[in-house]
A and B are shown apart, each in its own frame.
Chain A
């Protein structure tokens, strides 16, 4: 009797995981295909039947990726812009979030509504005047528009909102005790509130980094020189003399773009998922 139900349960479990495995194909296969194809010569890329692993894996396409474009430079651009904006957003959002949650001042609600307008308006709506403003300031074909708008503009509003929601939950007694000890607001924010906010800050930094790392419209609009390109923009420019796509080079560059974040994700998977769930639930 017991083994019978045990077998049935085991059967159901096998069926369950088999179904999941089939469903996982479109989620996992493209990344696999991207990586394995980047190791194939162009002739094997379109071979029939498709090969799941290259016959003679080679890193030629990876070398080519650096030869055809200033890829190392572009990599650095993406990395440094994403890091600066992430740190900047954490600062801007935690300061504003703290003030909106914990400090009383006149016009608070109105000012908070103004900030929330940033959540309502996709940055695509304002891209035309933004281009004109930065053009007037002579900042087209520099990284300034991306850094400034992302750190202070609409993209940081969700972060401010999340930080505010978090700081609202902190017990008031903590701050009162600190005040009695003579700490000023800045010190309370930095020494009491911020250390307690690591989970919210982690969430904010993860989604900010991913957002900036993936930006495509803004770099396309603001940047013209290949050495200033960010990775998403650079990936689409691997073409031969006739404008045909150099698939293996493009896929090698794509692999190099996707892999670091994927590795970080696998290592810090729990924080990633919980962090993003938190942003969604509280946002």
Chain B
């Protein structure tokens, strides 16, 4: 704010007063943002730098030693035979979740995007799991998925012998995805509903008058119009899927074997169950890089297929 100081000469009082006001304003601005900015520095930027620093060190919790080990932790990552299955589980979980979640959310939103009595009631039903505590929700599903639990009980009623859901690799992964989809699909549904209500009616009617069938209208008018929301839900869902922890911890503890050990759970195990903070830091960096790449890719892709009104 040198310009302010320079013109604070006794030549033009009104000018001087305006500039002082601006300076005072700037100080207020800094004070207003200080809690958030300092919080981000202390709890995000500094820890991120520490993650990098820790990843070159070995931490012996019992002996209380902290030694520089160079790239050892990174070498360990490259030779860790668990990494391939962990990455695969992470990818399988994220991809199935995103596809299932967005398809179902869009389907529900299209079904419920009408003014008819009873529709609001169903919106509430589909949305309600979002507000049920995550661990409570997971526990009841864990209970339903027991070998002699509710789901197999129902299947038995119609004469089907159900699998031991949480004890077999493929069904365990499917179970975790199912629990997560029904928990959060209501959120994406609401976002899609809001987007659908923003699609101009005239456009759809005009297309219909021109002889387009509902499917064509949906494909060529509705989808492009709501594509920003699709992108948004995509980002939220995929980044959220990388953070799935409680469900895994409560339902399967990463098992059977390591079939449901996704990256975040593996990171938690290594760092906090086995005290491998150096190696845990390497895994944190990997998680960070994946999120970064996903965000950049999505940002680039948005130019390709997102339709903007203006």
Measuring CB to CB, which residues of chain A are less than 8 angstroms from any residue of chain B?
A: 13, 16-17, 19-20, 23-24, 26-28, 30-31, 33-34, 37, 45-46, 48-50, 91-93, 95-96, 98-100, 103-106, 108, 111, 114-115, 117-118, 120-122, 124-133, 148-149, 151-154, 156-157, 160, 184-186, 189, 210, 213-214, 216-217, 220-221, 231-233, 235-236, 247, 250-251, 254-255, 257-258, 261-262, 264-266, 269, 272-273, 276-277, 280-281, 283
The residue that A129 contacts in the complex, of B135, B137, B281, B295, with Cβ under 8 A, is B281
* A273–B124 alpha-carbon span in the complex (Å): 9
Docked-complex contact A31 and B47, CB < 8 angstroms = no
* Smallest Cβ-Cβ distance to B139: which chain A residue: A254
The residue that A251 contacts in the complex, of B131, B139, B292, with Cβ under 8 A, is B139
Docked-complex contact B128 and A28, CB < 8 angstroms = yes
The residue that A37 contacts in the complex, of B29, B143, B285, with Cβ under 8 A, is B143
* Smallest Cβ-Cβ distance to B277: which chain A residue: A128
B48 CB contacts on chain A under 8 angstroms: 121, 125-126, 129
Docked-complex contact B126 and A210, CB < 8 angstroms = no
Docked-complex contact A261 and B131, CB < 8 angstroms = yes
* A104–B142 alpha-carbon span in the complex (Å): 53
* Smallest Cβ-Cβ distance to B287: which chain A residue: A125
Known: A214-B133, A273-B190, A277-B193. A30 touches B38 (CB 8 A): no
Docked-complex contact A214 and B134, CB < 8 angstroms = yes
Q: Tell me which residues from 122 to 140 in chain B have a Cβ below 8 Å from any Cβ of chain A.
A: 122-137, 139-140
A266 CB contacts on chain B under 8 angstroms: 124
Closest CB of chain A to B23's CB: distance in Å?
Answer: 9
* A117–B163 alpha-carbon span in the complex (Å): 44
Docked-complex contact B44 and A121, CB < 8 angstroms = yes
Docked-complex contact B126 and A96, CB < 8 angstroms = no
Docked-complex contact A34 and B44, CB < 8 angstroms = no
The residue that A280 contacts in the complex, of B42, B54, B190, with Cβ under 8 A, is B190
B127 CB contacts on chain A under 8 angstroms: 272-273
Closest CB of chain B to A148's CB: distance in Å?
Answer: 7
The residue that A33 contacts in the complex, of B43, B126, B143, B156, with Cβ under 8 A, is B143
Q: Tell me which residues from 3 to 42 in chain B have a Cβ below 8 Å from any Cβ of chain A.
A: 22, 25-26, 28-30, 32-33, 35-42
A126 CB contacts on chain B under 8 angstroms: 43-44, 47-48, 50-51, 284
13 contacting pairs across A/B (C-beta < 8 A)? A23-B126, A24-B122, A24-B125, A49-B153, A92-B35, A92-B36, A114-B45, A121-B44, A124-B245, A129-B46, A216-B249, A277-B194, A280-B190
Which residue among B1, B35, B42, B111 has the maximum number of chain A CB atoms within 10 Å of its CB? Answer: B35
Taking the complex as formed, is B154 at the interface, i.e. its CB lies under 8 A from any CB of chain A? yes
Interface size on B, residues (CB 8 A): 95
* Smallest Cβ-Cβ distance to A218: which chain B residue: B245
Docked-complex contact B26 and A186, CB < 8 angstroms = no
Known: A26-B182, A114-B40, A129-B50. A235 touches B135 (CB 8 A): yes
Measuring CB to CB, which residues of chain B are less than 8 angstroms from any residue of chain A?
A: 1, 22, 25-26, 28-30, 32-33, 35-48, 50-51, 54, 108, 111-112, 116, 118, 122-137, 139-141, 143-144, 146, 148-150, 153-154, 156-157, 178, 182, 186-187, 190-191, 193-195, 229, 232-233, 236, 239, 242-243, 245-246, 249-250, 264, 267-268, 271-272, 277, 280-281, 284-285, 287-288, 291-292, 295
Known: A125-B288, A126-B47, A281-B229. A151 touches B137 (CB 8 A): no
A118 CB contacts on chain B under 8 angstroms: 40, 44
The residue that B136 contacts in the complex, of A45, A149, A257, A265, with Cβ under 8 A, is A257
* Smallest Cβ-Cβ distance to B137: which chain A residue: A30
* A129–B229 alpha-carbon span in the complex (Å): 35
Docked-complex contact B191 and A258, CB < 8 angstroms = no
Docked-complex contact B26 and A106, CB < 8 angstroms = yes
The residue that B194 contacts in the complex, of A108, A115, A156, A281, with Cβ under 8 A, is A281
Known: A217-B268, A254-B140. A232 touches B133 (CB 8 A): yes
Docked-complex contact B37 and A149, CB < 8 angstroms = no
Closest CB of chain A to B140's CB: distance in Å?
Answer: 4
A130 CB contacts on chain B under 8 angstroms: 43, 47
Closest CB of chain A to B242's CB: distance in Å?
Answer: 7
Docked-complex contact B43 and A153, CB < 8 angstroms = yes
Docked-complex contact B250 and A115, CB < 8 angstroms = no
Docked-complex contact B144 and A23, CB < 8 angstroms = no
Docked-complex contact B143 and A280, CB < 8 angstroms = no
Docked-complex contact A217 and B33, CB < 8 angstroms = no
Docked-complex contact B182 and A27, CB < 8 angstroms = yes
Docked-complex contact A120 and B40, CB < 8 angstroms = no
Which residue among B25, B40, B249 has the maximum number of chain A CB atoms within 10 Å of its CB? Answer: B40
* A233–B143 alpha-carbon span in the complex (Å): 17
* Smallest Cβ-Cβ distance to A88: which chain B residue: B35
* A152–B132 alpha-carbon span in the complex (Å): 26
* A235–B116 alpha-carbon span in the complex (Å): 40
